[in-house]
Each structure stands twice: as C-alpha cells, then as structure tokens.
Structure 1
Amino acid sequence: MHKVSTAILMVCIFLIPSAISAQPKMEFQHTYFDFGFSPQSAELTHDFWLKSAGDENLLINNIKTGCSCTKAPLEKDVIAPGDSAKLKIIFSTGRYKGRTFKRPIVETNEGSDLRQLTIIANIVTDQDSMFPLVVEPLLLEFMIDAGESKHTKKIEITNISDKDYELRLIEYPDDLVRIELPEKIPAGGTAVAVVKLTPKATEAKFANSFTFEINDEDKTRYSIGVTGRPGTPSLKMNY
C-alpha cells in the first residue's frame, strides 16, 4: 500500500507543474500594416495571421475595431495549439483625409493584457499629393456581369521624380484578381499595370484592395481599391 501511495504521489508531482505551465499564447506574424497612399470611398483590406503558440486552445473572445468604418471578420475563434487563423481587417476609407490610423484590439483567454494591431493609410484627394508617383485611377470598379471583355482594367503609373524606381506587389486578393505590375518605371516615365478578374470574382459582388511598393528611401506604398458588382458602375472621381 505504501508503494502504491508513493507512486500516485510521484505522478501528481509531475502532473501539477505541467497543468500549471499549460497556457494559451498568441503570436502574430506582424502587428502593423501600411497601405500607403489610398483613395477615399474604398475598402482597404489586409490579412493578419494569429498563431496559437501555447499548450492550450487559444480563444478569441472579442475584437474591438473602435469604429463602424473598420470590420474584422475572423476565420475561427478557437485556435488549437500550433494552428493559425486569419483575421481580415477591412477599413472603409469613406471621406477620411490624410494619414489615418486604426488600431483594432484582440481580446483572448491569455489573460488581461490586450493585444493591439495597427493599420495606417494616407488618404489622398488629389494626384499632386502622391509624390513620387501619380497613379490613375486609385479606384477600379468592375461590372461582374458585363462579359469577359469588361473584366480587365488598366492603371496608369507616372513617375514624376528624377529617379528610376522598381515596383513590388505587397498584397492582393489572388482569388479575385490577377495583376500585371511593371517591374520598373524610369524617371519621368509612364507604365501601365493590368488588373483582370478571376472567374471566382464574377460570382458575387466584392470590395477589396491591393498594395504595391517602390524602392525609394521611404519604401512608399500605394493601395488601389477594387470592387465588383452587377450593373452599371457608379460615377466616382479618379485621383
């Protein structure tokens, strides 16, 4: 009997620390995203990835966006250890102007500490404020039921500086659009980007965006709003 009791005691000694150390833990791939120069009346989108890095399920209890202009649909709210989930941040720029920050807060079962994400957009109303490039248009609206010939649009990119730049695509919704972005644009030159809808994009209306970056000192970024809906496009300003 004494040996049995000792064995049980030893098992408990080993199990108790394990139970105490088993905790949920959340890690982010990154916590900040810069959309750069962006248009009004667009829905800017970015995907953050939440990883469950602890020993227990990570529970996403709440996401506070701070305003009705920002939405945060979550792929799933229970994340098993080692698994990840996508958190999409959707910022409706509306009539905002200038540098705008949004800081959604993620509440989990980790404890009382709140985890904050940050997005920033420099919302412009005229072409002159987008130096060193002029991008026209910053908003693309597709008629998804208009036939394949209407499912391709072009964006004119003009380099108004005295330096050559390379362009790099940062993020885009690959299930909705295919993008042909010029690799380089010379000083004073103009290049064309081509945006084409995928078959999936024609199934239902959507609103999204894509972002590209140039290799200047500031890593300047530009985001283009892309929408698709049945019927006739609305009249919107081009910037």
Structure 2
Amino acid sequence: MRNKGGKMTLDKMLCFFSIVLVFGGCIAETSAGPPKTEFDAIDFDFGRIPPDAVVTHIYKLTNSGGDSIVIEKVRPYCGCTKAPLTKTVIYPGETAPIELRFNSRGYRGRAKKSAAVTVKIGENTEKYRLTFVTQTDTGNIPFSTGEVGVYPYAVEFTDSIKTAKITITNRTAAKRVVRVDDYQSDRLKLSWNKKTLGPKKEAVLEVTRLVPADGIVASITIESPGRYNTRITIPVSERKATSRSSSRSGVHRSPDRPMYENPWQQQRK
C-alpha cells in the first residue's frame, strides 16, 4: 500500500478508510440489534381483597433491543379494570410501567381479568395479554385467611394524614414468615419491623405516602407461605368525604364494629 518512497498513495488511503468506515458501520448496526421486548411477568395474584375497593399492580415492560418501541394501547377486557398509561415510547434500555387497576365493587369470590397490550416494534405490531386473579372477600372484619390476620383491611389518606399502620397477626401455633410481595414504591414508603412472626405474635407495617393524598391509588400485597399460601392485598386510597372512618389515623373501619388497634388481640382476651 506504499509507493517506492514509502508513502501511501492517495487512492489507497481513500480505499483503506472506506473499508474501515463500512466495517465499523456494520459492527455498530450489529451491536444495536433489532427491537426486543421483555416483561418482568405477565400475570399477578392479588390474593384476597376487600369488597368495594380498588387494587393495582404495575407490570414492567423493558426494551432490551437497539431501537425504540411504542406502546400503542392497553385495552382491558372488562369495565372493572382501568389501565392508565403514563409512558408510550420506550427507548433502548428503558423500562415502562403498565398499570392495571381492578375495582371489586359488585364482585364476590374468585375473578380472573386481563388486558391486551399492543406494541409497535419496528415495522411490526405485537400483542401481549396481561392477566391477574383476585379473591374478593365477603366484607368480614378483621381480614383473615385463618392463618394470618391483617388490620385494617384498607388504608385511606387525607392531606393531614400521611402515615398509617397495618397490624399483621400470626394466628397459628407455629412460626410464620411474612413478606411484602408487591407495592408501588413511587407512591408509598414501607417500614417493616419483623419478617418472621412467632406463634400468636404480631408485627406492624408502617405505610407513608410519598405523593399527595388527592387521587392516590395504590395497594400492598402481603404473602405468607404455609400450609396454604396466604396472599392478601390491602388497598390504599384517598378518603372520601362520605367515608365512615376514624379521623385520627389512616384506617378504614366497619360501621358496626368499634375501632380496635388490633381486633385479633381483642378476640384473644
């Protein structure tokens, strides 16, 4: 590639740099790769939920490819389910939330719901189905699966109420592991003082809202493995003016039951 004087000719230099540019472009295009979507999960189990409440779960869609993708629409198959979409364009390496909110009003027992997600990937359009299951309770208070008791069964916030406490009770004669399986960390902060409960013991889960009370929608799913896998979801919402609730804490009470800090403790007395 050099002439007799040891210098590279102009034609050969241009040819050499052209090859470098073409080869480099091929590498860049190959490393970018085609658009690709990945869900963290496509189904969710709320477990038991109270009646006349709204619970929510956020599915996460990640773009692990080299080009942007677009969420065109999310269509629930039932009027009981809403899908507020906050992000539609997902750039490479980004993750977008897809939230499904279920209103249990009018429901009792087990229900399975779903929503169709339409995503534009390059020139193609792909559809995914997100599902969830619930077991709407009959409204008995306190909330219990027989092995684990949870009180209150709903949390309500106002502008003046920023923190609430949930008491979780082990109603069995053996140790129980209890964990928070799901919640919306952009809206709530949780402080959990125990993860293993001794027989007939209880723990307190402190819930602090991170957003204004106006219009807040969130939920906390608690799980405890055992003879039966216990799952309970506690809805978190704004207190309405007509709600019959305690004025001193962010808990909802039954109109026909006095407010106890822990009803399970009252029952043991």
Please classify the TM superposition score into its range, dividing by the shorter chain length.
Answer: 0.7 to 0.9
What is residue 209 of structure 1 aligned with on the other side? 219
Q: Judge which range, 33-42 or 211-220, deviates more.
A: 211-220
Q: How far apart are the structure 2 equivalents of 1:129 and 1:97? A: 16
1:183 maps to which of 187, 195, 206: 195
- Where 2:221 maps in the other structure, the secondary structure is strand
Counterpart position of 1:123: 136
Counting only pairs closer than 5 Å after superposition, residues 55-66 of structure 1 correspond to structure 2 as: 55-66=66-77
List gaps (5 residues or longer) in structure 2: 1-14, 246-251, 258-269
Deviation at 1:230, TM superposition (A): 6.4
* Change over 3 Å in CA distance of 1:237–1:124 after alignment to 2: farther
Q: Which amino acid aligns with 2:155?
A: L
Whether 1:35 aligns to 2:19 is no
Q: How far apart are residue 128 of structure 1 and its match?
A: 7.8
Per the TM alignment, residue 168 of structure 1 is displaced from its structure 2 partner at its CA by 0.9
Report whether the alignment pairs 1:171 with 2:182: yes
In structure 2, what is the equivalent of residue 92 of structure 1?
Answer: 103
Shift of 1:151: 3.8
Report the alpha carbon displacement of residue 160 of structure 1 after superposing the two structures with TM. Answer: 2.7
Cα pair distance change 1:154/1:53, threshold 3 Å: closer
Question: Which residue does 1:26 correspond to in 2?
Answer: 37
- Tell me if 1:225 matches 2:258: no
Gap runs ≥5 in structure 1:
none
Give yes or no for contact 2:143–2:152 (8 Å, CA) kept in 1. no
> In the alignment, residue 42 of structure 1 is paired with which amino acid?
A
User: Normalising by the residue count of structure 1, what TM-score does the alignment of the two structures yield?
Assistant: 0.77
| Corresponding position: 1:154 with 2:140 | no
Seq. identity, %: 28
Q: CA deviation at 1:22?
A: 6.2
Q: Which residue of 1 aligns with 2:59?
A: 48
Deviates most, 119-128 or 133-142: 119-128
Tell me the secondary structure at the aligned position of residue 212 of structure 2: helix
Q: 1:62 to 1:176 in 2, by over 3 A?
A: closer
Deviations 1:118-156 (A, max 9, x none): 1112211136862321222211223x13x3xx4443333
- Equivalent pair of 1:34/1:120 in contact (CA under 8 Å): yes
Larger Rg: 2
Instruction: Report the Cα distance in structure 1 between the residues aligned to 2:195 and 2:33, rounded to whole angstroms.
Output: 49
Q: Deviations over 1:11-68 (max 9, x none)?
A: 7xx98xx79x964332101112111111112211111111123333212122111112
- Distance of aligned partners of 1:82 and 1:200 in 2 relative to their CA distance in 1, 3 Å threshold: closer
Q: Is the deviation greater in 124-133 or in 77-86? A: 124-133
The letter for the 2-side match of 1:184 is T
Alpha-carbon distance in 2 for matches of 1:213, 1:199: 23
Closer, same or farther: CA 167–53 of 1 in aligned 2, 3 Å: same
- Residue 83 (structure 1) aligned with residue 94 (structure 2): yes
| Pairwise CA distance, 1:214 | 1.2
Work out which structure has the larger RCO, using CA pairs closer than 8 Å and 6 or more positions apart in sequence: 1
SS at match of 2:211: helix
Q: Separation in 1 of the partners of 2:119 and 2:203?
A: 45
Is the Cα–Cα contact under 8 Å of residues 175 and 198 in structure 1 kept in the other structure? Answer: no
User: Is 1:137 the equivalent of 2:152?
Assistant: yes
Contact 2:39 2:61 (8 Å CA) reproduced: yes
The answer for the alignment partner of 2:84 in structure 1 is: 73
* Structure 1 partner of 2:10: none
